Amino acid sequence: MKYYDLKGTDLKVSNVALGCMRINSKSVEEVEALVTAALDAGINFFDHADIYGGGKSEEIFGEVLKRNPSFREKMIIQTKCAIVPGKRYDFSKDYIINCVNESLKRLQIDSIDILLLHRPDALCDPKEIAETFDELHQSGKVRYFGVSNHTGMQIELLKKYAKQPIIINQLQLSVVHSVLIDAGLNMNMVEPYAIDKDGATLDYCRLHDILIQPWSSLQASWADGTFIDNPKYQKTNDVLASLAEKYHTNKTAVSLAWLLRHPAAFQPIIGTTSLVHLKQALEAEDFELTRQEWYDLYLAEGKPLP
C-alpha cells in the first residue's frame, strides 16, 4: 500500500480508503472481518456519514472498535454530516454539533479525525460554520475539516471565515462519470462536453492542495449502478477486459488504476462489503496505466477530443 502526507495535517493516509456506506447490511462479525482485512492490506482511512444506514453503519463500526480497541490507533476515521434526508441540507451550528456528538456515540470514539460537510446548504452562513469548526476543534471532538460535493467558490466562501483549512473535497468521479475532467479537455468548444458544470473544481482543488476523494468510483449513475459488466457500457468493458488481461488483474482494479493514474493524487473510496471485491480492488496498487491506456478508457464511450 502506498501512503502520502495529507496536506495541511500531520496525517499519513493510504492511497485508497474504505467506504462504510453499505456495512449496515452486515453483521458485526462480517464487518470485523472486512475491517481486519482492510487494515492487514494497509488501508488506514475509513469513510463514514451520519446518514449511512440511518446511523447503523457507524453503530456497527463502533461495535467493531469496541471489540478491537487497538484498531483505533491504526485508523483515520472520517465522517460526514449536514444531510437531513429528503428534507434539507443543514449547516446550522446546533445541527452540526449534534451530528458530531451522535456520530461519536455511535462510533464509540472520543474524536473524529476528519469531518466533512456532506452537501452544500443554500442557507449556509460561513461565519456560523467558522464558529462551529472552532468549537469542535477546541473541544477536541474534530481534528480536521473538509467538504463533499462543493465547488471551488463554495469552498472559498467557507475559507473566508474559517481558521481551519479545508483539506478534502469528496466528489463523484469514475471513468464513465468524468464531469470533473470533461470541460477542461473541451474548453472553448461548442459541444455539450465543454459546459463547465462544476466551476473548474478539479483545478481549484489542485491549486489549493485539497485532496479529492472520488466516490462511486465504480458507478455509472444511481440509475445504472456499476459500469463493470454492464451491457450499457460495453465499449468501456471491452477496454477494461483488454487491460485486465495485459496486467493479469481484473476490471475493478483497472477502473481504480484509471483514477490513481491522475497526477492530482486522488484517494478513491472503495465502497465494498465483500472480502473478495476488496482484494480485487487493491490489485490497482500493483500496476500503472500508460498515458494512452488512460485516454483509451476515457474515450471508450465516445467522449470527444477536440
At 217-269, the pLDDT tens digits run 999 988 899 999 999 999 999 999 999 999 999 999 999 999 999 999 999 99
Q: Is the alpha carbon torsion for 264, 149, 280, 242 positive or negative? A: negative
pLDDT digits (tens, 9 = 90+) for 9-58: 999 999 999 999 999 999 999 999 999 999 999 999 999 999 999 999 99
184 φ/ψ angles, rounded to the nearest 5 degrees: -65, -35
CA atoms of 148 and 167, how far apart (whole Å): 11
| Cβ neighbour number for residue 256 with a 10 Å cutoff | 26
Q: Is residue 244 part of a domain?
A: no
pLDDT digits (tens, 9 = 90+) for 124-160: 999 999 999 999 999 999 999 999 999 999 999 999 9
52 φ/ψ angles, rounded to the nearest 5 degrees: -65, 115
Q: Is residue 243 part of a domain?
A: no
- Where residue 213 sits, what CATH number does that domain have? 3.20.20.100
pTM of the predicted structure, to 2 decimals: 0.97
Q: Is residue 235 part of a domain?
A: no
Q: Is residue 13 part of a domain?
A: yes
Average the pLDDT over 165-194 and give the result.
Answer: 96
Q: Is residue 30 part of a domain?
A: yes
User: How many domains would you assign to the chain?
Assistant: 1
pLDDT digits (tens, 9 = 90+) for 72-121: 999 999 999 999 999 999 999 999 999 999 999 999 999 999 999 999 99
Q: Is residue 128 part of a domain?
A: yes
Q: Is residue 261 part of a domain?
A: no
Q: Where are the beta strands (DSSP E) in the chain?
A: 3-5, 12-14, 17-19, 45-47, 76-81, 83-84, 88-89, 112-117, 142-148, 166-172, 211-215, 219-221, 225-226, 269-270
Domain housing 127: 3-228+266-285
Instruction: Map grid coordinates 472481518 to a residue.
Output: 33
What residues pair up with 12 in beta bridges, in sequence order?
5
Give the residue from 33, 80, 34 showing the smallest Cα distance to 55: 80
Residue-level pLDDT at 3: 97
86 φ/ψ angles, rounded to the nearest 5 degrees: 75, 0
| Cβ neighbour number for residue 230 with a 10 Å cutoff | 15
Buried b (16+ CB within 10 A) or exposed e, 186-223: beeeeeebbeeebebbbebbbebebbbbbbbbbbbeee
Quick check: 276 pLDDT over 90?
Answer: yes
Q: Which residues are catalytic?
A: 52
Q: Is residue 50 part of a domain?
A: yes
